[in-house]
């Protein structure tokens, strides 16, 4: 047994976190910043932070993840990190020549109270920022919120720094995709293109974190939202924010700053959430949904119809981030499955309420928690076993110990490929989730059935 | 044999059409702002031996330049991740916001076998954290830490708990040592803390030192039970990445050598507690663990020397050195028997890969020891380690221990505690006398010595300390090496350039690479990477010849 010390008995813990279902803000800010074209994320703290974030993102994507750091020493921690950041900005623009540096803070620089706008202002007046280049920042103290908060904060910083109203509306819609994979961003853009609706997506990590092998390394790859596009978001007809935790603060900031109205939606995972997204997009853009999309929807439904027997009332345990889990739970309930343990490490008031509502009709007692850890999740599973586990790679330790089929879903996925290339959002993404669920469940049937019951046709 | 190879290397490196490393150094420096260039010029060294056959001096273990994109991590990573991480039966509790604990959770591929300790405890698949929130930053985190230790004790009943301080802990002034002491007294198990805040020192190296101090103060020497065995050694600085320690254990056991404790691959705190009863300390990764060796020598009288179990040649040399140290004919003979048994398979693999790899360039930028250890391995494949450097080493790792007396201790190193160690009144027992020591020196068995990496590198190679992303790119674009070795952060920037990249921290997914079977694995691994078919497919047909040869008439 790998997690041999995890007791079945659940004792309340007030101060000890065991096997977290979350990580800290800066990594989310780094991921979001990579979704700006020509951007070098910069971690204002000690160099361990950036090393850890780059390593984790690199393992998740198997792609280069470039970023820089202020490399605080003890001296900088005592006297403040201003000179480190000024030096970093100068070095980065001289050596690596990005268009923009996106600085995020860390627990270190936040605890000592470094004033980022002041330092960036100083960099500006002392000529350390070349003409036409930018330095932006987001405050991302690691002791507040989680990685999702960091993503939201950096996304909002893009609005704060760049969005401008040109006085009249441009025929385009902003889509803030939330913390999803490059493949998901591509899928959302494809749907918008099918609806013939011009959009600006930010952040956009497609072609940044799923780049091709060409034999030539580019530090700043093709993808990412451009500065001009970010400026133009202030003149868009409206904003669709997908995933309230990751995207709503940027959407609201756009509304306040540039009077761009926004609609906050769930991440388009599964039938109903995708329906709402497509419907909202069509209404906001004033277009019709083409048959091609309706056909995709029908294909998804067709799989559910055909394979119902394997899905019906199967118990599932889910762990991950709130935006993802809300839509995923809704999807599973909508196809007659029974998500019975749903846990996120991120504290979120709405999460528990939403999940309670979504699972109200599940004919089974449902455990829901926000701001808790994977040890509790494991204990729930021990006390009330399930047919399927869904979560990030760390869940594989639980899956092996408890011998339960497992699908990787969420962040980070450190041991499989696919997430950066194949989406889990919208109808096609729903089909991929279904394929994965069915493979996991049916492989198990094949493994466990007796020779007498073993089936060729399933 | 080595001279012949050096000649072969020299011929290639000093050929007229080989781009001079001095030119590359100049090219790199010309891109940097003047201040950076000045500093970096002391860290980028063309290894040419001067008139006195001495290699030039290198600057190392100095502050990382902000914004340079270095490979380095922090003090916490060195302490918690590297040294303490591979020990299975201690609860390693991170005191800080959640990130540090999360990122160091199971990411280093340290294997362990809990079946070798009776209680079978293994906390390595777990991550323990106090998950500090804003209120602790404002009001202090000691209360939460105390409570977390209590809860860990109540649920898991571990035999030992250690606490790791992250950046904000030092800044807000939580006294982890007072808290752990109080809880140790309360709970009656060993509990201690590490002041390994991320901003300490200039790299992971500071964390290694902090971890060494903690182990020495709190764990080593707790259990005086003397184990059975004729030749009892500790293996220091072997972290069992990909199973290296298992292969070393296999070979040493075959020779009749008993490992009392490994620091810290496949380790138990029970082994640490007992390690002062060994006869000899063998040092693998000198950088991360030499402090423990020195302190054990002073306190208990255990001598140490440097060995290298990476590469077949290194393994055999090290085994012979151990046998010579003991001077026991039985052991000397046994070691020769083992070498003779193991080598045929090694030679078969070497001969198989050599024709495909001979004369190709390798570059390696890792750690504080492996960039040196792996050069022998590449030599065995006929490859040339043209460029190397460390991420977090000190000058002695490059130039050898003779530079130690002249090393300046700067402000960043001064804040890492240097323990004052005295002879243990009861347990100090010099394993060899001064006379025996002299005798050994005469016979060429050097104790307490390390010659460093640059000594063994041929003339005209290029050595870079704390290599930056820009320097990495310049090197690979200039020389297009057959293989480049570094860590996960560099991995895909290299591979996207069309050059195979081998991780020498975590070994990618491979290993073991130590010992004889490990060497065979490594030869095959490099052969696979360098000669993979994937490199043939980089260009699509229409990219190779974009012009259409003919057009159909109907167009």
Q: DSSP letters along B530-546, please? A: HT-GGGGGSS-HHHH--
Chain A nearest-CA residue for B133: A143
Note whether B412 contacts A65, CB cutoff 8 Å: no
Name which of A365-374, B8-17, B262-271 the model is least confident about: B8-17
Q: Residue B443 pLDDT > 70, yes or no? A: yes
Same domain, A102 and A145: yes
Contact at CB, B489 and A65, closer than 8 angstroms: yes
Q: How confident is the model at residue B15 (pLDDT cuts 50, 70, 90)?
A: confident
Q: Is residue A454 part of a domain?
A: no
B155 vs A7, A52, A112: nearest CB: A7
* Residue A17 forms part of a structural domain: no
Residues B247 and B234 sit within 8 Å (Cβ to Cβ): no
Residue A86, domain extent? 25-158
Catalytic residue among B77, B206, B362, B393: B77
Among B405, B409, B29, smallest CA distance to B206 is for: B409
Are residues A190 and A135 located together in one domain of the fold?
no
Report the pLDDT value the prediction gives residue B430, as an integer from 0 to 100.
95
A66 and A186: one domain? no
**pLDDT recorded at residue B52:** 79
One domain, residues A320 and A247:
no
Is residue A316 domain-shared with residue A441, that is, in the same domain?
yes
Return the percentage of chain A with pLDDT > 70, whole number.
100
Flag whether residue B280 sits within 8 Å of chain A, measured between CB atoms.
Answer: no
Q: Which of A54, A213, A397 sits opposite B496 (nearest CB)?
A: A213
> Are A152 and A178 found together in one domain?
no
For A74, residues 6+ apart whose C-beta sits below 8 A from its C-beta are B199, B200, B411, B412, B415
Query: Quick check: is B77 catalytic?
Result: yes
Among A269, A292, A315, the domain boundary falls at A292
Residue of A nearest to B540 (CA): A214
Based on the domain organization, do A283 and A331 belong to the same domain? no
pLDDT, mean of residues A187-214? 98
Paired strand residues for B238: B264
Task: Find the largest Cα–Cα distance for chain A.
Answer: 80
Strand (E) positions, A126-223?
134-138, 170-176, 199-201
Per DSSP, the residues of B456-509 read GSPTTEEEESS-BHHHHHHHHHHH--SEEEE-HHHHHHHHTTT--EEESSS-TT
Catalytic residue list contains B208: yes
C-alpha–C-alpha distance, residues B105 and A397, integer Å = 12
Q: Is A2 a domain residue?
A: no
In the stretch 90-129 of chain B, residues with CB closer than 8 A to chain A read: 93, 96-107, 120-123, 125-129
- Tally the domains of chain A: 3
Cβ neighbourhood burial of B415 (10 Å; 0-12, 13-18, 19+): middle
Comparing CA positions, the residue from B294, B70, B384, B95 lying closest to residue A68 is: B70
Task: Over range A215-223, report the average pLDDT.
Answer: 96
CA angle at residue B84 from B81 to B85, to 5 degrees?
50
pLDDT digits (tens, 9 = 90+) for B44-75: 999 998 877 788 999 999 999 999 999 999 99
pLDDT value at B277 more than 60: yes
Do A135 and A207 fall into the same domain?
Answer: no
CB A243 within 8 A of CB A276: no
**Chain mean pLDDT for chain A:** 98
Q: pLDDT tens for residues B196-216?
A: 999 999 999 999 999 999 999
Residue A15 maps to a domain: no
Identify the residue with better confidence: B438 or B269: B269
pLDDT at res. B551: 64
Structure tokens, B426: 């009861």
Dihedral pair phi/psi, residue A239, rounded to 5°: -125, 135
Q: Are residues A359 and A312 in the same domain?
A: yes
Determine the Cα–Cα distance for residues A443 and A441; give it in Å rounded to an integer: 6
Q: What's the pLDDT tens digit per position in B316-362?
A: 999 999 999 999 999 999 999 999 999 999 999 999 999 999 999 99
Please tell me the distance from the alpha carbon of residue B44 to that of residue B463, in angstroms, as a whole number: 6
- Across residues A81-91, what is the average pLDDT? 98
Q: Is residue A188 part of a domain?
A: yes
Last residue of a domain, one of A259, A292, A325: A292
- Is residue A16 a part of any domain in this protein? no
Residue A1 is assigned to a structural domain of this protein? no
Query: In this complex, do B31 and A94 lie within 8 Å of one another by their Cβ atoms?
Result: yes
Tokens 């076998």 found at: B113
CATH number of the domain bearing residue A416:
3.40.50.1980
Q: Does B411 touch chain A (CB under 8 A)?
A: yes
Q: How confident is the model at residue B150 (pLDDT cuts 50, 70, 90)?
A: very high
Residue written as token pair 């959002």 = A425
Interface check for B544 against chain A (CB to CB < 8 A): the answer is no
- Which band of pLDDT confidence, cut at 50, 70 and 90, is reported for residue B549? low
Q: What local confidence, expressed as pLDDT, does residue B14 receive? A: 82
- Output the CA–CA distances (angstroms, integers) from residue A155 to A225, A233, A253, in the order listed: 11, 12, 10
Other beta carbons within 10 Å of A269: 30
Cα–Cα distance, B238 to B139 (Å, whole number): 41
**A192 and A150 assigned to the same domain:** no
What is the rounded average pLDDT of the residues A72-100?
Answer: 97
Residue to mutate among B80, B489, B495, B506, with most A CBs inside 10 A, is: B489
CA distance to partner chain B, nearest, from residue A111 (Å): 7
One of B48, B108, B320, B524 is an active-site residue; which one? Answer: B108
- The confidence band for B1, taking pLDDT boundaries of 50, 70 and 90, is very low
Shortest CA distance from B494: residue in chain A: A217
Q: What structural domains does chain B harbor?
A: 1-61+347-398+456-555 (3.40.50.1980), 75-218 (3.40.50.1980)
Q: What is the mean pLDDT of residues B220-241?
A: 97
The total of other beta-carbon atoms located within 10 Å of residue A272's CB is 16
Are both A113 and A147 inside the same structural domain? Answer: yes
Which pTM does this prediction carry? 0.97
Q: Is B145 on the interface with A (CB under 8 A)?
A: yes
Q: Reply yes or no on whether B108 is catalytic.
A: yes
pLDDT at residue B555 in the model: 52
Residue B452 in contact with partner chain A when CB distance is under 8 A = no
Say which of A18, A42, A63 has its CB closest to residue B126: A18
- Count Cβ atoms below 10 Å from residue A226 Cβ, excluding itself: 16
Domain contains A195: yes
Q: What is the DSSP letter of A36?
A: B
Q: Are residues A284 and A390 in the same domain?
A: no
As separate numbers, helices (DSSP H) first and strands (DSSP E) second, chain B gives 23, 14
Interface of B with A in 467-506 (CB under 8 A): 468-470, 473, 487-489, 491-498
Domain end marker among A292, A317, A334: A292
């Amino acid at each position: 047994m790998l997690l041999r010390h995890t007791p079945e008995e659940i004792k309340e813990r007030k101060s000890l976190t065991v096997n977290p279902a979350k990580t800290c803000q800066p990594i989310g800010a780094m991921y979001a910043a990579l979704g700006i074209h020509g951007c070098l994320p910069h971690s204002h703290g000690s160099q361990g932070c950036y090393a850890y974030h780059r390593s984790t993102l690199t393992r998740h994507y198997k792609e280069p993840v470039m970023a820089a750091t202020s490399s605080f020493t003890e001296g900088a921690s005592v006297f403040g990190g201003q000179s480190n950041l000024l030096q970093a900005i100068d070095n980065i623009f001289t050596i690596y020549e990005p268009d923009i540096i996106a600085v995020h803070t860390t627990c270190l620089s936040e605890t000592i109270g470094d004033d980022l706008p002041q330092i960036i202002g100083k960099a500006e007046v002392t000529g350390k920022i070349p003409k036409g280049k930018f330095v932006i920042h987001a405050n991302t103290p690691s002791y507040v919120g989680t990685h999702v908060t960091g993503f939201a904060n950096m996304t909002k910083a893009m609005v704060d720094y760049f969005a401008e109203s040109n006085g009249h509306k441009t025929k385009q819609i902003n889509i803030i995709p939330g913390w999803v994979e490059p493949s998901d961003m591509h899928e959302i853009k494809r749907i918008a293109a099918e609806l013939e609706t011009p959009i600006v997506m930010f952040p956009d990590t497609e072609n940044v974190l799923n780049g091709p092998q060409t034999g030539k390394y580019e530090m700043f790859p093709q993808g990412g939202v451009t500065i001009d596009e970010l400026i133009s978001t202030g003149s868009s007809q409206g904003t669709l924010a997908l995933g309230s935790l990751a995207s709503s603060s940027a959407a609201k900031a756009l509304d306040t700053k540039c009077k761009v109205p926004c609609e906050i939606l769930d991440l388009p995972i599964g039938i109903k959430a995708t329906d709402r997204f497509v419907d909202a997009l069509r209404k906001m853009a004033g277009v019709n949904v083409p048959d091609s999309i309706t056909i995709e929807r029908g294909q998804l439904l067709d799989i559910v119809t055909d394979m119902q027997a394997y899905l019906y009332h199967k118990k599932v345990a889910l762990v991950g981030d709130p935006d993802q889990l809300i839509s995923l739970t809704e999807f599973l309930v909508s196809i007659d499955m029974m998500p019975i343990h749903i846990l996120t490490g991120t504290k979120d008031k709405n999460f528990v309420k939403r999940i309670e509502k979504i699972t109200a009709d599940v004919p089974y007692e449902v455990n829901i928690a926000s701001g808790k850890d994977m040890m509790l999740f494991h204990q729930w599973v021990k006390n009330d076993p399930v047919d399927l586990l869904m979560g990030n790679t760390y869940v594989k330790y639980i899956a092996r110990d408890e011998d339960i089929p497992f699908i990787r879903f969420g962040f980070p996925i450190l041991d499989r490929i696919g997430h950066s290339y194949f989406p889990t959002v919208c109808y096609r993404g729903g089909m991929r989730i279904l394929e994965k669920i069915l493979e996991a469940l049916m492989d198990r049937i094949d493994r466990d059935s007796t020779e007498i019951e073993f089936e060729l046709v399933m | 044999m080595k001279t012949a190879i050096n000649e072969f290397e020299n011929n290639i490196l000093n050929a007229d059409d080989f781009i001079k490393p001095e030119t590359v150094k100049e090219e790199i420096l010309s891109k940097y702002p003047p201040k950076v260039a000045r500093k970096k010029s002391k860290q980028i060294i063309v290894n040419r031996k001067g008139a006195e056959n001495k290699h030039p001096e290198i600057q190392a273990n100095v502050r990382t330049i902000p914004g340079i994109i270095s490979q380095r991590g922090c003090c916490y990573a060195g302490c918690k991740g590297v040294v303490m991480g591979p020990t299975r039966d201690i609860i390693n509790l991170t005191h800080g916001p959640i990130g540090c604990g999360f990122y160091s959770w199971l990411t280093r591929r340290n294997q362990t076998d809990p079946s070798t300790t009776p209680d079978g405890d293994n906390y390595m698949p777990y991550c323990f954290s106090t998950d500090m929130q804003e209120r602790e930053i404002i009001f202090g985190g000691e209360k939460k830490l105390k409570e977390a230790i209590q809860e860990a004790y109540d649920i898991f009943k571990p035999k030992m708990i250690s606490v790791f301080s992250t950046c904000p802990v030092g800044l807000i002034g939580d006294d982890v040592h007072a808290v752990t002491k109080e809880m140790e007294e309360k709970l009656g198990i060993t509990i201690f803390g590490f002041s390994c805040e991320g901003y300490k020192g200039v790299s992971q190296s500071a964390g290694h030192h902090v971890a060494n101090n903690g182990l020495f103060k709190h764990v080593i020497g707790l259990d005086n039970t003397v184990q059975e065995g004729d030749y009892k050694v500790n293996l220091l600085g072997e972290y069992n990445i990909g199973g290296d320690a298992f292969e070393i254990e296999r070979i040493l056991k075959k020779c009749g050598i008993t490992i009392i404790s490994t620091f810290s691959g496949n380790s138990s705190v029970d082994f640490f507690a007992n390690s002062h009863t060994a006869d000899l300390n063998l040092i693998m990764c000198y950088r991360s663990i030499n402090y423990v060796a020195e302190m054990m020598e002073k306190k208990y009288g255990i001598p140490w020397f440097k060995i290298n179990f990476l590469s077949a040649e290194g393994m055999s040399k090290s085994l012979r050195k151990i046998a010579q140290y003991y001077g026991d004919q039985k052991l000397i003979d046994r070691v020769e028997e083992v070498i003779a048994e193991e080598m045929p398979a090694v030679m078969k693999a070497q001969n198989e890969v050599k024709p495909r790899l001979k004369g190709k360039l390798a570059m390696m930028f890792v750690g504080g020891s492996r960039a040196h250890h792996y050069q022998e391995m590449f030599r065995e494949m006929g490859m040339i380690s043209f460029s190397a450097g460390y991420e977090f080493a000190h000058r002695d790792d490059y130039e050898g221990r003779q530079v130690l007396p002249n090393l300046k201790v700067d402000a960043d190193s001064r804040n890492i505690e240097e323990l004052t160690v005295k002879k243990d009144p009861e347990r100090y027992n010099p394993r060899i006398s001064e006379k025996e020591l002299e005798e050994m020196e005469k016979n060429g068995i050097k104790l307490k010595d390390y010659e460093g990496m640059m000594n063994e590198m041929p003339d005209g190679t290029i050595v870079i300390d704390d290599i930056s992303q820009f320097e990495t790119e310049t090197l690979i674009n200039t020389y297009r090496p057959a293989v480049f070795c570094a860590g996960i952060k560099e991995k895909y920037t290299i591979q996207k350039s069309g050059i195979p990249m081998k991780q020498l921290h975590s070994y990618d997914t491979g290993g073991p690479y130590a010992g004889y079977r490990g060497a065979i694995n490594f030869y095959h691994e490099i052969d696979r990477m360098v000669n993979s078919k994937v490199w043939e497919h980089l260009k699509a047909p229409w990219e190779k010849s974009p012009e259409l040869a003919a057009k159909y008439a109907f167009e």
